[in-house]
Structure formats: C-alpha cells, structure tokens
Structure 1
Amino acid sequence: MNRMLMLSAALLLAAQTAGADTLLKLDARAGAPAPTTGHIKMGTAVSPKGVTLAANNQYLLKDGKPWLPVMGEYHFTRAPASQWDAQLRLMKAAGIDIVATYVFWNHHQEQPGAFNWKGNHDLRRFVKQAQAAGLQVVVRLGPWCHGEARYGGIPDWVVDAMPTRGNDPEYLGHVEKLYAEIGKQIQGLLFKDGGPVVGVQLENEYNLRGDGYGEAHISELKRLAIKAGMDVPLYTVTGWDGAVYPSGEVIPVFGGYPDEPWSRQTKEMAPKETHAFRFDTRVSGDLGAQTKAHGKGTAETDKDKVPFFGAEYGPGLPAMYRRRTLVSPDDIAAMLPVQIGSGVNLLGYYMFHGGRNRVGAGGTGLEESTLSGGYNDTPRISYDFQAPLGPDGQQRPVLTKLRPFHYFLRDYGAQLATMTVRQPERAPASPADLQTPRWSVRAAGDSGFLFFNNHVRQYDMPVQKAVQFEVQLPGGALKLPSKPVDIANGAYFIWPLNMDLDGVKLRYATAQPVARLDAGAQGIVHVFAPTPGVEAEFALADGVKAMTSNGGQLMAVGKAGARTVSVLLLSQEEVGQLQILDIAGQRRLVFSDQQAWVEGGKLQLRGLATEPLHAAVFPALAKPKAAGLQVSQDGPLQHLLFKPEGSEPAVQVSQTRPARTAPPIRIGGHANAAVQPIPEAFANAASWSLKLPKQLAPQAEDVLLELDFVGDIGRVFAGTTMLDDWYYNGQKWQIGLKQFALKPGATLKLTVLPLRADAPIYIDAAHRPKFADGQAQVAELRGARLLPIRRAAIAP
C-alpha cells in the first residue's frame, strides 16, 4: 500500500471510530487527595481588618474560602497616567480581579543616578488607582522582565558594565537599590497594610544554571525583595521553558499562546497545545524564553506541591517583524475551557491592555530589537498586542467572548477551585490529533463541570456526531444530554453537573453557567449562555426542560425559602453584550455594545459619538438621570439611550511622496530569519499628509485616528517626532490623539515602507496582500478616519 493510501485508510478508520463512539465516557469516582499546606513559604497574609490570604498545593483561599481569581496585565509606563483610572475600572468591569504590571528598570533609571517615578512612571499612583477600582495588584519586579523591552528592561549602563541575571556582587548592588526604590513606591500599599498588593514576581523566564545562578539567584532576589520591605503573601516566578527556582520559596506561574510570533516559521503553525487539554504537565510548549533550558525545570518536579496558576495566557499576540499573526476572538476564547478544564486555579492574561513604549534619551528605542541583540524585532513604539483593551482603551471583539468566562469564575470559582481534573477514557494522543474529542471534567464528589473544545486555530475540526456523555460519579452515572447532539466545528463550552442552584439541584445543563444574580424582590437568578447548535436542556428533579436561545428567557426552577430561584438563558447576542456591574448597591446585568463601568457611583457608557449610546439594565435603576438621557421599559429590561452626536471630523489626506524600491529583507539575528530594516531603509517609504480640522471634536473624550494601510511598516509623525508605529498585519491601526495635545489644525505625516512580494515574513493568508503578476511591492493607504469617542455618566 502506498503512503497516500495508508494515510487515507488511517483517516477513514479514525473517522469511523469517532462516528461509532458516540458515548463519551469518563470515570470521576476515585477520591481526590486532600489539599496540603506547609510547603509554600508566604509572606504576611493577614490584613489589618483580619482578612486572610492563603495558598495550599491546590488553590488560593481568601478569608478561608477557595478563591479562583482572574488576572490581567497592564503596563503603567506604557500608558498615559490620565487614562489609568478609567482603564483600571474597565478591567474590573470585564471581570478582572488582579492587575499585574512590570516595573521596567530602564523606564525608571535610564541613566545612573536618580530614579524617575513621575507622570506615567508613578507606580504608587497606579497602585492606589487600582485599589480604588477594586483590583488587587501583582508587581512584576524584574530586574529582567523581557516584556519585549530592550535588554529585557535592564538599563544599557548596567548591561555594558557587568554580568547580569546572576549573583554578581556589582549587579546585585544595583538590583538592591532598584528593589529599595520599588519598596518605597508601594510602602503602605501591601496586603498586610490593607493595600492591594498581594504578590510580586521575581525575574522572568529564568532557566539559567551554574554557580551564582539558578535557585541561588532567585533566592537572593527574594531576600532583597523582603529586605526592601516587600513582605507580601505571594512570591511568584514563571514556570515554563525549563525554569529553575528554589522549591517552596516561590510559586511558579504558567501560560500559553495560540500562535508563536517569535517563531522562525513563515507558514502556519502545527496545532498548538493551548487548544488541547493537559493531564500530565502544566507547561504549554514554547513561550519564547530567550535562554535555552539545559535540564528538567523545577516546575515539573513541583507539580504536586504547588497550585496551578496562570500569568501569561495570551488574549492577543504581539506583532514581531518576521511573524505577524492576527488571531480571532475564538482562537483566544477557546483556550479558556481548555486551561480551566486542565486545572488552572488562577487565570492570568498577558496582555489584557495594550500600550506604547516610551522612547529613551536621544531617541533610543526601548523596545526589543535585533539591533540591540534581541531575539525579536518589535515596533519602536506600539505595544498593541491585539489586547482586549487597546492602547487607548478601545474595546476589542475578543473581550465580548472572554467576559462570560470571567463572570463564571467570579461566581462559581469557589466551587470549581476545589475540583480535581478527570481524564476521559479516550483522549487525543497529541495536539495534532484533530479527530478524538477534546474534553475533561473537574469534579468533587457528585458535582462538577464538563469542559469541551472543538476549536483549533487555522484547522477545521470534525463535527462530533450524535454525542452523549457518561460521567461516572460516586452517587451513580450521569448521562447527558437526553438525546445525542452534534457538536459543531469551532464549538467550545462548559456544562454543569449536579449543580446547586441555591437549594435547587440541577442535574445537568447543556448551557454554560455565567453568573448568579440576587435580583431582590425578583428572586435569585442564575444566568446561562447557550451552546451554539445545541438545544439548551435543564435537567431538574421533575424532568428535563428545554429552552431555545432566542433571547432573555426566564424560567422558575424552585424556591430558596420564600424566594424564587430562576434560570435566565440569554441569546448569543446578549451574551456578547453582557457586563455585570455593581450600581447603587446592587449587582445588575448591563447589556450594551458600548463599554460600561461604574465610577463615582454613576454608570459610565463610552463609545463612538456618531452612534447611539445604549444600555439595557436589569434590575432597573430607581431614577436614572443624565442630560439627554431617554429612559424606557421593555418587560424586565430598562433601556437607557443617548442619541448620536454630530458627525466624524474630516481629515484631509494627500500623498506627498511616492514609494521607492524597498531594499531586500535582511536575514540574520539570533533566529537567522527576517530582521527589521536598517533606519536608512525608511528613505524609500511613501508618505502622506494628514491635516486635522481646526476643531478636533472638542467635546469628545478622545478622537481616534484610524488608518487602513497595506505595506511593511507604518509610522505617524508630528513634525519629526514619531507618535506611533505599526507592523502591517491586516488589523486596522488606531491612535488616540488627545494624549498628544496637538495644536488645532495640526498636520501629521504618515510614512509606509513598502512590503516586498518576496518578503520572508508571515502574515495570515486572509490578510497577506495579493500581488499582481510582476508587482514587486505594495505601499497603499486605503483610508483614514477620525473617530470621536464620547462618554456619558448616568446617576442611578
């Protein structure tokens, strides 16, 4: 049999096996080991009010109760300080519990001598504003951060003069001063002081070994942190790529990305581990560490001693010069049931909020670059990261996919945290196995959650035909749903098993739990999201009840004392609009396509000024008031509406210089792949004049300049000052203009370096330019718009 026939036969056999095995089985009857304590050496973990924070080998506890928080990264020095307050509140509204932030040493001490903690370098102000927004804080101390920063954030004057990332006495002397400065910034703001700082991270992606390195160096960094006054409950390190650290002194954190922008490949990646359940390891493949491991990492041997925490699950990806992946919202969201279903008990994102690099003295770029010996080339200024919140606070589509999972963890995470991961009878042999169904269960006793994923980035998954699940629990087998269902390519979900709905037993549901809402006189409401293509069944003591997801269906299922307990099944559209906010002392569902959060006791709405601002609220606000607000009631939903304001300001665009022939792409660097052009190459860029109107929407909170271009690298200048730059990847480029305090009627300049047809650069097929026969390069501006952003505040 030739090779092609063998492959066809294998695929046919796999398809027949998948079709025949419609009953997917899993045994969750075995007892789970009890949590153990004593191995992890935490700092002071009691607040002045007696609130406690603890960690066993399985999960976190807050005030003695299991706690499964969501953490998101936001770099304060990569954002204007004027934005911090609103952006931190937006993160809180999106279901984030902890904000993590790097302290880039070279942002604060670019030259020897005094440190800069002013303006958008003010760590203390950032931490205080995080606390005001209701967020906890993890400070990532470095001194080596990576973070796509020049020398990983270590200043040039240190790199030039001494060995780094080890116990060299001269280096440690400077690190001690850095830590002392950070300690002063957060003094009085630690958890033990009643502040929000619950943890610090030491170093990053550390797998160096040898005398003065490895465990010894991490131990020394922890000693210096404590000496600087940073006595916190949690000390963490990153645990991937063969990380080395002193067991028990720190907790490893993990991550994963749906693609590898640091890869040398110019084609699609093989299926990534982030979309496949893990039952034996917590390390999710290559995460781009810049040093090579030379042995098994501590995280592998620590697996049963520490909880499974995440810090760098990518809700987006950075653009790197040689590889510019543009991920879809589903590429990201499909990771969540996989990671949670693999046992993650702290879900951490990098980056949750995009930003921009500052430019150093004399125009020195502080970004990672092959020109300064880095492994990757990143934009000089842009650190967009395709994050759920863009550099100027833009809400990206991926955020609407992530929020329901965050709300689920906030309300049901205490139950989930104690549950053990259970492996099905049949599991994929590897991430490349696209035929075998991907699922798991986390259970404790007879209760649990079923996790399923049928989405893999850039690969079609087979429709799983006529599927039913059989989960063996201590109290007996649970079979669901009542009739076999087809699970579509791209589907992913979480279903509950024997869930307690305030005294009402829900045997199972084929819909995903999202939140629990105390609706006052209207009782207790458990909110569910539908599973696309699957009828929503709710199996109760009196039988199975089905609901269709055509919007806002409320069904009473029992009583909690004198109060009604109901389930609310949302439509797919409503799930994407859902934001859960505490307004006027009550938790409420807010449905809006715009951004919503609470500040100063008022509901804030933010969106395009040229479109209506609209929100539907449940339970209704007592007396909502705001200038121009229209209030109406539709059943249980209270509608709040502001009419559009004005039109888009016009930007006058004219080409000022045609492109010249771009030089061939250079190959080199540590990756021996495409490296960014030398500065002189930009003389070949096309340029356009962008003249702004004399009145740049003065009433708007911000105005976004949106550029739709095709080329290699775009740059925007005010005079000779570069405001922002962008590696073309198919994503529209937006720049908030208010932060630059431009003069009325100012003229900006856009330059676009041509992208060569022969460029060995990866761009997703859907966005890679289609070069005509004989066309050697492209540099086009397809459009430029000014998008005014407004904000409205509604008193409740």
Structure 2
Amino acid sequence: MYTISAVAPEPPLDGHLHLGEPPDRPDAIAANARYLTRDGRPWMPVMGEFHYSRYPAEEWREELLKIRAGGIDTVATYVFWIYHEEQRGSVDWTGDLDLRRFVGECAGVGLDVIVRIGPWGHGECRNGGFPDWVQHSGLRLRTDDPGYLALVRPWYAQIAAQLTGLFRNAGGPIVGVQLENELYDQPGHLLTLKRLAKDAGFEAPLWTATGWGHAQLPPDEVLPLFGGYSEAAWDSAHDGWPQQSRAHYFFGPGRDDDSIGADLRAIPSVSGGDSSGAGGDESHLVRYPFATCELGGGMYTSYHRRPVVQPADIAALALVKLGSGSAWQGYYMYHGGSMRLGALSTLQESHATGYPNDCPVVSYDFQAPLGEYGQFRDSWAWLRQQHLWLADQGSALAAMTLTMPDEAPSDTADTSTLRWALRADGRRGYLFVNNHQPVETLPDHHGVQFTVTMGGRELVLPSAPVTVAAGASFVWPLHQPVGGVTLVGATAQPVCDLHAAGVATAVLAQAGGVEVELVFDGAEVASVEGPGTVTTDGDLVRVSGLQPGTGCRVRITGHDAGRADILVLDERSARQLTRGRCYGADRLVLSAAPAVVDGDAVTVYGAAADADVLLYPPLSEAGTGGRLFGRYPVGGPGPVSAAAPVRLLAAEGPAREPVVDPASGNASAPTDADFDAAAVYEIDVPAEILDGDDETLLRIDWTGDVGRAYIGDTLVADQFWYGPVWEIGLRRHREALRGAALRLRLLPMRKDAPVYLSPHVRPSDYPAGQVLQLRSATFVTVPRTVVEPA
C-alpha cells in the first residue's frame, strides 16, 4: 500500500516577472511562478519544434495540420542566420526560407508560434547558425562586444521586418521569442539581446532562454526553459546509456539537465552542477513555472553515436515531466527535416567546423514523431494521447503542485521501488506512475494499491491490489468533474472530454493492463454497456469488471440530476484516436491509419483499401447496429508497394581505417573522397510515381556504415546506418528524377569501428572484418484519402 496526502498549495508568486500582456486585455497571456495564464485561466502550451527552412514550403500547411492533429498547439522554429545570409549582404527570405509565409501558415491552421531568433541557435547547424563571415570575424561572439552587436542589430531588424503584423499585439500568432541558445554565463548579454530585439520591433508576451547547464539568466526577464532526452548523440561512443538520461525517468522537482550542450561548454557549470547533471542550486527557479522546450521527440544520429529511440521511451519521459510539475510541454524535434546545402559549403555541424560531433550532411530526421518526409511514427500516436488530455485538462493540471511520496527513489536508486507521484491542488489531482525506462528493463511490481487523502477524504485505489507491469506508464484522475458528476477516482488514463448529444462525456483508456475501476461520489449508475459490476460503499459507487473498447460506456446520473457518460477505451484504440470538429459536431475519430481533421475534411494517410474510420458520436443512430461508434469506409486505394529495380554499378572496396577527431576523441565521418570506395547502385523511378501527388518513400533495407543518395551530382539524402530502414521521400525530387536515375553510394562498416549502435541492431557477422548488405529497395506510395461518409 502506497500512501500520500495532497496539500492545498499556497497561491503562486505573481507580478514579479517582466513578461506578459496588460491585464485589461481580455485574452492576455501572462505568467506567474507556477504556470502561464491565458484568458484569465491557467494555460499549458504543448509545443513542437519544426524548422521551416528544412522542409519544402509547398508542403508546410499539410505538415502543420499533421502537427496540430498530434495535439500540438504551438510551433517553435529556429531562424538560422547562415541559411538566410550565407554571404554577407545577400539576404534570402524566399522559397523554403520564407519565414513570413511560414508563420502565416501557422496562423492559418490555428497554431501559436515561438521564434527562436538566436543569433546563435545550434540545432546541429554549421557554426551553430552563424555565417562563416560572422564566425571568423575575430569579434568576441555572443557577448556585448560592440563590433558583434553591430552585426546583430541589422540581423534582428531583418527578422523583425519579415514578421511585421504577425506579433500578438497586431493580432498575429507569435506568442514568444527565444533569445540565443545554451548561453550559460552571460546574463547581461541576454538582457542586451532582449533590448535589441525590442528596438528592432519584436513584441511578445513571452521571452525565453534555455536554462539547462545551470545557466545564469537575467532575473525575471526571461522564462528559463528546460529539456530532457532519452538518449544523447553528443555523448561518447561508450557501450551504455548516457548517465543523465536515466534521471528523466524518475519523478522529482529537479528541472535541469547538465548533459544538454555539455559537449560545447568550455567552462564548468556555473552553479555547482557537474557534467552528469548532479548538484547545482535550483532554488532560484521557484520564481518561474517549470517549462520545457526540448523534451526529446527522438534523437539525431551523430557519426560516433547512433541510438534507436523507441516510442515508449519518448512517451514515458514526457509523462514523467508532467508528473514532476511541467507547466509547458515542448518537444525537440517534433517534426524532422533536411539540412540545406549552402552555396559555399555544407551546413551541418561537423568536426571540420570545430564541433565535437559529425552529423549527416542532409538528414535531420531526429527519429521524430513526424519524420524527415512527414512520415507518421508510432511516437506521434503515443504522444497524441497525452496531448488530447492536456487540451481539455491541462489548465487544471498546470495549477497543481507536486507531492512526492516519502519512499520515492532517487535517480541513483535500484529498480526495486515503484516510481510514482501526485500532482494536486487540494481539491482534485492526478496520480502518476512510471515503470518504464530504456535500456534497463524495470521489474513488475505486485500487490500495488494507493491510499490518497485529499480534501479530508481518504480514497483507496484500486479496491484490490494489482500488478504494475514492466513498461507500464500512466496517469489516473482523482476527483475529476464530469458534467454534474464527480469521478472520484479511476484506474484508467484520461484521454479527453467532450459533449456528445448534449451529455458531458469523459473518455478514459485502460493503461498498463490494469483492470479498469471507476469510483463515483453521490451518483447512480444508469447503465453499463458491456460487462460490468456495480457496488456501493456508503456514498461511493464503484464500477469494475469492465471490458474496455469501443463498446464500453457507463452512464451516470448524479443526485442533483446531472448526467454524464464515461467512455472507456482499450489501449490500442486510445492510440488510434484523434479529435476534431467535423461533420457538424465535436467528434472522436478512431482510425488505424493516421487521421487529420481539417474542417469537415478527415484525411487518412496510408489506410488499407478496406479500412474503416469510427466516429463518436455517429452521424446518425441509423445503421450503427447498436454500436456506440459509427463505422464508415475510408474508400481509398490503399498503399502501393513495389520492388525497386536496383543495378549494381560498382562493388565496395575495403572499409576505411577509423579516423578519430583529436579535439573531441570521437570518430569522424567519411569524407567525400572516402566515397570513391563505396558500392554504387542505380535505381530508376517509374513515371507513375513521378506523376502522382502522394508521397512515395524509397525504403532501403541495408546494413553498413554511411549511405548517400544522389540525383545527378546533387546529394539529396544520406544516413548514418543505425538499424531502421532508410526512407527517402521522392515527392520533392519528382522534377529532378524525370531526367536522371537515383544513385546510391554505400560504405561498409568495420567490425572495430568506434561507433555506438543500439545492442538490438548490431550486426552479428562481419565477413572479412566488415559488413555491407543491401537486402532490398522498395517503393511505397502512401495515399491521402478524404473520408466521405454516406
């Protein structure tokens, strides 16, 4: 039995931050020490990073709709200086660099925007985003050096001119500006940058800066934003898990992660923390809400470290941050992209530019929820389930404070103690449990029950002990209002709230295989659709023995004649669920293939030819056969898969000897000259693919070291092999492919290569000390089908 008592929190410190909009504005955005506010209510943004300059402009709107469908309400984007002004005085804001158009597209689909204006940004970009002419200017960069500020002023003015009319004070979507990035010991310079930005015309309620590494920030002038990753491509190639990543799977009040950017810091952490994240005084952070901008939506691959990140790793980390007090969920990256090729050089971070990591020249897929070519990853669905909940109940959660159990384990503890925590406001709350982490499988915990005291009342949940299985990660609601009824507790995860046919409806989902039990206060169970047992205990009514799924609904009548419905989905269905106003009502859309709602258009990506979508409430009761969800055919052609004809033009030579960068000690990526020894393959793309409007992915199943794809002499894609099939989107290259074949150059991997690969993908056989296999190449066309229910 685990016990805890919720304590009503003191009102948060307010009025001290030099942020926010005038309080007389009806929809004012502001912040106090615990949470952000909007329209006079607590507000929890859910933010995803998407770099406009790394994706084709003609596809921005489609991708932003996918982002919105994943439950993101705010887009963050870097403005990389080198992309726009590679050559001094020649500034380009056209095509894929049209920042103004991108922000306008965000507004058009209802997304807020945070612009990360640097001047230094990182993002695995060459020089952190500085043009070479700035990098080699001889000035003291990222300081108040007058010569450096003389370069920053016109650059800020350029950005601001692009954004005129798009700031909040002019009715635009820009709600925040991030200054610089990963600057640890220059609070005065950050204040200077804020002044320069305002002088240039930037105006936003929220000003932010990254706070990790125990950064010194100008007090009360910017919100410190934090991050956390399940892996770290910037770590060394040691055969294990980065130390700080483990800490992110434990609940607790700590915010900092000293490992982010530690490979670029020339000075020790300024407040006593070390490179592992241990130590350091965080007492000053009580003046700010716990906000994040870089929860790992995945991880990039450096040449020397190539981890595979699983959806459960991403979702569990995000849930732990919510349980630990996060009031602003921000993901990096949420949508992958492709590095640009400059007129003067390639534009990736590399050893050649003095950085400790060699990155791919083109690929910035990041294993993100939405990939380099807009692919839907399983993590998109796993996170969406959390985001649907936050869209409805994030306002309540944001105002709640963390209570840790007395027996809570530290992040250096063994795996024998269950990891759990409570966020509550004294009246209602959420119980968080995490029994998942990467690399080290956690054990099952048997005989688990919780006793929670809240508002002077004690609740035991569940009524009989249960097993929290290895890999389980979930949140249970406590004292959740549903219409005129109180759901005192549930052993099911909240998904969303809606009104269906005028009835307040709470949607819950089974989680972790735990049997679902619902507990109501002062209510009567009008009906249970599907199996279920109703028992009473004084004023409490318990419903157990439910069979979660699309046919499970509990109808409740409160003693004050209030009504409520509770839909209880199984875990699989909950991850197939999206929500939107379509066909004249607020509806749940359940689809095995990813679905995107845009007005009354429901677009399904890659659905099988005989697939259906389920809608709740159904368009009409007629024809449902008594089912809760209406079933409607997608009616599309289904994905088309065809083997790609591959011609071997040249066999590979011997794998090159390992090259180690003396400055970082990390293995260096092959150079252009090394690809003279690559195996060369040629692939013709059929005309029907080039003439289609849908995305076609060339899926290359291979094992080796590094692969590059060319059209003519132009490098269009690359991969540091790390296990998953390499996917190349062809839609953006259709015109170029009409006159040329696609050519692959693949290098073999040496057995003794000093690189880290996830254990489950490591090759077991290295003939003659090296391995290169091209097992198959396949064209897969992913149709977009608009559902047209009869």
So what's the TM-score if we normalise by structure 2?
0.92
Give a deviation string over 1:624-672, Cα, whole Å, max 9, x none.
9xxxxx9999543232321425843552111111110121111124321
In the alignment, which of 746, 751, 755 is matched to residue 752 of structure 1?
746
Q: Secondary structure at the match of 2:233?
A: coil
Q: 2:606 maps to what in 1?
A: 607
In the alignment, which of 209, 215, 236 is matched to residue 264 of structure 1?
236
- Displacement of 1:734 in angstroms is 1.3
**1:220 and 2:192 equivalent?**
yes
Structure 2: gaps spanning 5 or more residues? 273-279, 522-539
Decide whether the 8 Å contact of 1:240 with 1:299 is kept in 2: no
CA distance in 2, matches of 1:793, 1:459: 43
Decide whether the 8 Å contact of 1:446 with 1:473 is kept in 2: yes
Q: 1:517 maps to what in 2?
A: 498
CA distance in 1, matches of 2:628, 2:479: 31
In the alignment, which of 257, 271, 280 is matched to residue 296 of structure 1?
271
**1:202 and 2:200 equivalent?**
no
- Displacement of 1:46 in angstroms is 7.3
Q: 2:219 maps to what in 1?
A: 247
* More off after superposition, 258-267 vs 220-229: 258-267
Decide whether the 8 Å contact of 1:316 with 1:387 is kept in 2: yes
What letter is aligned with 2:173?
A: P
What letter is aligned with 1:758?
A: D
What letter is aligned with 1:616?
A: L
Decide whether the 8 Å contact of 2:704 with 2:746 is kept in 1: yes
The structure-2 alpha-carbon separation of the partners of 1:643 and 1:158, relative to structure 1 and needing over 3 Å to count, comes to: closer
Decide whether the 8 Å contact of 1:370 with 1:669 is kept in 2: no
**1:368 and 2:349 equivalent?**
yes
Q: 1:5 maps to what in 2?
A: none
Give a deviation string over 1:187-213, Cα, whole Å, max 9, x none.
1111111111000000001113xxxxx
Q: 1:15 maps to what in 2?
A: none
CA distance in 1, matches of 2:112, 2:639: 39
Q: 1:20 maps to what in 2?
A: none
Q: 2:572 maps to what in 1?
A: 573
Q: 2:524 maps to what in 1?
A: none
The structure-2 alpha-carbon separation of the partners of 1:631 and 1:28, relative to structure 1 and needing over 3 Å to count, comes to: closer
The structure-2 alpha-carbon separation of the partners of 1:431 and 1:404, relative to structure 1 and needing over 3 Å to count, comes to: farther
Q: 2:150 maps to what in 1?
A: 173
CA distance in 2, matches of 1:116, 1:561: 64
Aligned pairs (5 A) from 1:113-128: 113-128=89-104
CA distance in 2, matches of 1:243, 1:670: 25
Q: 2:166 maps to what in 1?
A: 189
Q: 1:553 maps to what in 2?
A: 552
Q: Secondary structure at the match of 1:680?
A: helix
Q: Secondary structure at the match of 1:654?
A: strand
What letter is aligned with 1:524?
A: A
Aligned pairs (5 A) from 1:523-672: 523-541=503-521, 542-546=540-544, 547-559=546-558, 564-599=563-598, 601-607=600-606, 611-612=609-610, 614-621=612-619, 634-644=627-637, 647-672=640-665
What letter is aligned with 1:762?
A: Y
- Displacement of 1:174 in angstroms is 1.2
- Displacement of 1:600 in angstroms is 5.5
Q: Secondary structure at the match of 1:54?
A: strand
CA distance in 1, matches of 2:30, 2:444: 43
Decide whether the 8 Å contact of 2:690 with 2:737 is kept in 1: no
**1:284 and 2:262 equivalent?**
no
Q: 1:12 maps to what in 2?
A: none
What letter is aligned with 2:270?
A: G
CA distance in 1, matches of 2:577, 2:69: 10
Q: 2:483 maps to what in 1?
A: 502
Q: 1:34 maps to what in 2?
A: 11
Q: Secondary structure at the match of 2:160?
A: helix
CA distance in 1, matches of 2:55, 2:190: 30
The structure-2 alpha-carbon separation of the partners of 1:612 and 1:786, relative to structure 1 and needing over 3 Å to count, comes to: farther
CA distance in 1, matches of 2:237, 2:45: 35
Q: 1:342 maps to what in 2?
A: 324
- Displacement of 1:281 in angstroms is 2.0
Give a deviation string over 1:104-154, Cα, whole Å, max 9, x none.
000000010031110010011000110111100000001110100000001
Decide whether the 8 Å contact of 2:487 with 2:520 is kept in 1: yes
In the alignment, which of 380, 383, 392 is matched to residue 402 of structure 1?
383
Decide whether the 8 Å contact of 2:474 with 2:512 is kept in 1: no
Decide whether the 8 Å contact of 2:612 with 2:631 is kept in 1: no
- Displacement of 1:745 in angstroms is 7.0
The structure-2 alpha-carbon separation of the partners of 1:294 and 1:539, relative to structure 1 and needing over 3 Å to count, comes to: closer
What letter is aligned with 1:310?
A: T
- Displacement of 1:432 in angstroms is 4.4
Decide whether the 8 Å contact of 1:697 with 1:788 is kept in 2: no
Query: What's the C-alpha RMSD, in Å, of the aligned pairs?
Result: 2.3
CA distance in 2, matches of 1:445, 1:715: 57
Decide whether the 8 Å contact of 1:665 with 1:677 is kept in 2: no
Q: 2:725 maps to what in 1?
A: 732
Give a deviation string over 1:351-404, Cα, whole Å, max 9, x none.
000000110014x11000011111211100000000000111110011111111
- Displacement of 1:613 in angstroms is 5.0
Structure 1: gaps spanning 5 or more residues? 1-22, 209-213, 625-629
**1:768 and 2:762 equivalent?**
yes
Q: Secondary structure at the match of 1:205?
A: coil
The structure-2 alpha-carbon separation of the partners of 1:585 and 1:245, relative to structure 1 and needing over 3 Å to count, comes to: farther
Decide whether the 8 Å contact of 2:215 with 2:270 is kept in 1: no
Give a deviation string over 1:418-471, Cα, whole Å, max 9, x none.
111001010113244321111100011131100010011011212111011122
The structure-2 alpha-carbon separation of the partners of 1:612 and 1:150, relative to structure 1 and needing over 3 Å to count, comes to: farther
Decide whether the 8 Å contact of 1:110 with 1:156 is kept in 2: yes
**1:142 and 2:118 equivalent?**
yes
- Displacement of 1:76 in angstroms is 0.2
Aligned pairs (5 A) from 1:775-794: 775-794=768-787
Decide whether the 8 Å contact of 1:45 with 1:192 is kept in 2: no
- Displacement of 1:301 in angstroms is 4.1
CA distance in 2, matches of 1:134, 1:646: 30
What letter is aligned with 1:63?
A: D
Decide whether the 8 Å contact of 2:453 with 2:459 is kept in 1: yes
What letter is aligned with 2:596?
A: W
CA distance in 1, matches of 2:676, 2:59: 35
CA distance in 1, matches of 2:659, 2:624: 60
**What percentage of aligned pairs have identical amino acids?**
39
- Displacement of 1:25 in angstroms is 1.9
Give a deviation string over 1:228-248, Cα, whole Å, max 9, x none.
111100000001012121011
Decide whether the 8 Å contact of 2:122 with 2:181 is kept in 1: yes
The structure-2 alpha-carbon separation of the partners of 1:196 and 1:675, relative to structure 1 and needing over 3 Å to count, comes to: same
What letter is aligned with 1:304?
A: V
Decide whether the 8 Å contact of 1:241 with 1:285 is kept in 2: yes
Decide whether the 8 Å contact of 1:549 with 1:569 is kept in 2: yes
The structure-2 alpha-carbon separation of the partners of 1:135 and 1:448, relative to structure 1 and needing over 3 Å to count, comes to: same
CA distance in 2, matches of 1:170, 1:228: 18
Decide whether the 8 Å contact of 1:703 with 1:736 is kept in 2: yes
CA distance in 2, matches of 1:61, 1:486: 39
CA distance in 1, matches of 2:484, 2:574: 26
| Structure 1 runs, 4 residues or longer, greater than 6 Å off | 560-563, 630-633
Q: 1:493 maps to what in 2?
A: 474
Q: Secondary structure at the match of 2:103?
A: helix
Aligned pairs (5 A) from 1:299-378: 300-362=282-344, 364-378=345-359
Decide whether the 8 Å contact of 1:632 with 1:639 is kept in 2: no
So what's the TM-score if we normalise by structure 1?
0.92
What letter is aligned with 1:284?
A: D
What letter is aligned with 1:288?
A: G
CA distance in 2, matches of 1:142, 1:669: 29
In the alignment, which of 104, 112, 129 is matched to residue 88 of structure 2?
112
The structure-2 alpha-carbon separation of the partners of 1:745 and 1:652, relative to structure 1 and needing over 3 Å to count, comes to: farther
